[in-house]
Chains A and B, each alone.
Chain A
């Protein structure tokens, strides 16, 4: 939860490499590009950090995002107001989050299988509602909101920034952050301390679902349409960002700031590869490799810390 080690350097290294080899990379416009493209991912990666810190995983985020986007677009297309439709989209996300929480905490189903199942369900629902087609005709309200520039910054960056600040504040200045770390690091301690750990544990998954709904707002606004497979695979980017950012799968180690850097790293990687005209499919592969590299580094550094702990 403190400082950010090598990954910051990785980000800097990537920036330097792309600046050197890619023309047009190191411009302000491109910087904003990266920010805008990364904002949706940040909205997903922030709650994913908490999920992973609690020794869990949420593979359904991409599918839930797509579903929420489809619901949003359909409602807008049918003439509903933007606020009402937005609430509905977020509610969809929350519902799936709650389902995930119930499965993992209530029934004891391993998180990756539980969320794999809800992934299928969300994906299926999105396909059924849309018949596989995009939902267009969302009106002007949402795209206008998306294009707006509050405080002179692109809307999506503002939202992402706001989300980060809210998360950070909650994490540091309410017990929530400590409880999340305890659920992953020593759940029994938390229960013995009289805290209702189950409630917080489910809450983490609900939060993930809610953020998927919020992200749907952005994505649908950007594309001016809702598509059932719009965000498939985004959970993978989110997981990669969290891992690269230094959050670990056990013991409750995690950092929101690290996740931000992880998201930026992936954003820079994708953008830079684009500038170098590397096909987007290889970009996905490179993120996969990046994740594995981050995991390996993590597993090399960890045993050293673990030996100190085990000698208790």
Chain B
């Protein structure tokens, strides 16, 4: 791939990025969240079109207008969400759309299909009855079926996105063996992973992206963990986000002890005091949103306790909201706002019970309150009746925060508060957070932007593999320490 650029509304995802991969090579693609890895991969598999640049296969320029084109040219991608059909068996899944023909026109040669499937799985070292339905397989097995599917399409380039995220050590070893077999067969593997130690195990070359640009391409043998971390981070960003940090935090507002939930996160223990902004850092998939949802009650807690202002917090979002906790979700459009409803309706939703305990909605006082909050948060909207879907990302986020203002929350869990927001609006969000804690509230902030965590938070917990692995107080809070904790695999 040469000189690939791609821009989305408001954001330049890729800026003349190049990637060169040889046959039979395992090439690691590294970078922080938002560095551009997934965009590059999507362009490679035909899901997006680059604004400029070209893709060359064996030196020949390739036009990828659709995923089907990419497939035909031998490019296969295995995403984290698998593409198997749950109630079809292994062989059917592998050969979906390309079933071998039987004797009568239109029929399938089922025996051949299963035999071919079994042969593919044997190549990959998996002994499995090909008549098992996909939904009955374990994750590791599903992954092998996905690989088999790619191989059956004579894939010459295989992209694997976080393949080891959900595997046990033993299964990881087996995956590595398969990858080595693929290498030997001349397949080029592009491997995206945050586990730097895997580079030493199976990597041949490494390319690092940062902020949508190439930073370096080097041989795996020459790369050390420390060096790679440095490359991924780049220069520290100059801007100071926060003018004053919390010198004397108040009482403990939130105390979480050994919390495990049915969404996969486990054994989390943390506390947040009034006046603090506490960060929750880690890489994608480390379990931060899961922890937030567990605290808020959006997902079911299976173990441990959550104490808010000394009292147990349990029973779902209804109780959490009444107690004074607010959640600004990661996906604000899908989970934080009703896009078809007005700014006013969205802002009042969480506070309805508090403002109108009798159930009678008094329009006049509602309007006054909403106007007040709109002014305070500087939400740019022509009117409070405007449907939220027409607001910019930054203003939408302000509406979500405003919602919790109105609800009288004293504790705010914010999940990626500045994602997809321009610089100007970001600064306003930080100012907002500072204002909140100055008034005695507390904030638990999830962020993948290390610079943001360091500049805004009083201290931070770091998560990895669905549990908390460390806490960094103010003095220790640096980007490289966060990243090391987030990636280091003991």
Stretch from A9-17, A35-43, A187-195 forming part of the interface with B: A187-195
Task: Using CB atoms, name the residue of chain B closest to A175.
Answer: B99
B102 contact set on A, CB distance < 8 A: 173
Q: Of A173, A185, A188, which is within 8 A of B88 by CB?
A: A185
A188 contact set on B, CB distance < 8 A: 83
Name the interface size band of chain B: 20 to 34
Q: Of A189, A253, A305, A308, which is within 8 A of B84 by CB?
A: A189
B65 contact set on A, CB distance < 8 A: none
Are B67 and A181 in contact (CB-based, < 8 A)?
no
CB distance from B333 to the nearest CB of A (A): 20
| B106 at interface, CB cutoff 8 A | yes
| A1 at interface, CB cutoff 8 A | yes
* B126-172 at interface with A (beta carbon < 8 Å): 133, 135-136, 139, 142, 166
Are A312 and B82 in contact (CB-based, < 8 A)?
yes
| B68 at interface, CB cutoff 8 A | yes
B166 contact set on A, CB distance < 8 A: 311-312
| Secondary structure call for the B interface | loop
A280 contact set on B, CB distance < 8 A: none
Would you give the 0/1 interface string for B75-114, flagging 1 where the beta carbon is closer than 8 Å to chain A?
0000001111111110010001111001000111010000
Task: Using CB atoms, name the residue of chain A closest to B71.
Answer: A194
Name the interface size band of chain A: 20 to 34
| B315 at interface, CB cutoff 8 A | no
| A281 at interface, CB cutoff 8 A | no
Are A312 and B108 in contact (CB-based, < 8 A)?
no
Are B133 and A309 in contact (CB-based, < 8 A)?
no
| B420 at interface, CB cutoff 8 A | no
A186 contact set on B, CB distance < 8 A: 83-86
Are B83 and A253 in contact (CB-based, < 8 A)?
no
| B312 at interface, CB cutoff 8 A | no
| A252 at interface, CB cutoff 8 A | yes
Would you give the 0/1 interface string for A260-300, flagging 1 where the beta carbon is closer than 8 Å to chain B?
00000000000000000000000000000000000000000
Are A308 and B135 in contact (CB-based, < 8 A)?
yes
Given A172-B110, A173-B110, A174-B108: A189 touches B85 (CB 8 Å cut-off): yes
Q: Which residues of A contact B (CB under 8 A)?
A: 1-2, 172-175, 178, 181-182, 185-186, 188-190, 192-195, 251-254, 305, 307-309, 311-312
The 6 closest A-B pairs by CB, nearest first: A193-B97, A185-B85, A195-B97, A182-B85, A189-B83, A253-B87
A-B contact sample (11 more), CB < 8 A, given A193-B96, A252-B85 = A1-B89, A174-B108, A175-B108, A178-B85, A181-B87, A182-B96, A185-B85, A192-B68, A193-B97, A195-B96, A311-B166
Q: Which residues of B contact A (CB under 8 A)?
A: 67-68, 71, 81-89, 92, 96-99, 102, 106-108, 110, 133, 135-136, 139, 142, 166, 262, 264
Could you pull out 14 A-B pairs where Cβ atoms are within 8 angstroms? Answer: A1-B89, A2-B133, A173-B107, A173-B108, A175-B97, A182-B88, A182-B96, A185-B87, A185-B88, A186-B83, A189-B83, A189-B96, A194-B71, A312-B166
